Amino acid sequence: HDEAWEIIASLFFADGAQEETAATSTSGEPWRPLSRFIIHENPYVKHLSVEEIWYWTTRREQYRRAYNDVWNATATGTGPHGEPEGTVDVILAPVGPGAAAPLDQSRYWGYTSQWNLLDYPALVFPVSKVDPEVDQVEEGYEPTNEKDAFNYHLYEPEKYRGAPISLQLIGRRYEDEKVIEAMEFIKNKIGLPFTT
């Protein structure tokens, strides 16, 4: 996800976030923590030249092509015109590094921005809620990097009580309906998402 984040974070604010900064300044409102994080603490925010925009756009298209090739490699056969058949229908993946984070604390977006970059449809659904009796802090865990440490130290079972724990289904570009059908299938078979 690091490569995907570098590409999409570079393309988020090609004008160096001038428009967002001006709008916030004009409003007289204070910067919200996540807005400050994504604009002022994001090392990829800068005013891009035309050449730089083309560079990042080309990187995006190369990334999309490579990901498409990986998905096509799951094919179990080939159709009459050489098209892959029997590829994976959808991907089931986490939405984030844990349960829904407290307000203003969702600082790792790699689990969802990946699909934005690829222009793949994703459907997020809750599967459970945090239960402090069950969802204890993993003692002795050593975070793998700074982002992991942030999320690990953020978690306190009581603070997260009742927070949704969610997954997402991801489909290929233009296969939004297939993602919804897969969700309906899961819902009918195992009763997700929860309703209380």
pLDDT for res 195: 59
pLDDT for res 115: 96
pLDDT for res 191: 79
Please report, in tens digits, the pLDDT of each residue of the chain (196 residues total). 789 999 999 999 999 999 999 999 999 999 999 999 999 999 999 999 999 999 999 999 999 999 999 999 999 999 999 999 999 999 999 999 999 999 999 988 889 999 999 999 999 999 999 999 999 999 999 999 998 999 999 999 999 999 999 999 999 999 999 999 999 999 999 877 665 5
Helix (H) or strand (E) holding 94: strand 91-94
pLDDT for res 194: 64
**HEC secondary structure over the chain:** CHHHHHHHHHHHCCECCHHHHHHHHHHCCCCCHHHHHHHHCCCCCCECCHHHHHHHHHHHHHHHHHHHHHHHCCCCEECCCCCEECCCCCEEEECCCCCCCCCCCCCCCHHHHHHHHHCCCEEEEEEEECCCCCCCCCCCCCCCCHHHHHHHHHCCCCCCCCCEEEEEEECCCCCHHHHHHHHHHHHHHHCCCCCC
pLDDT for res 121: 98
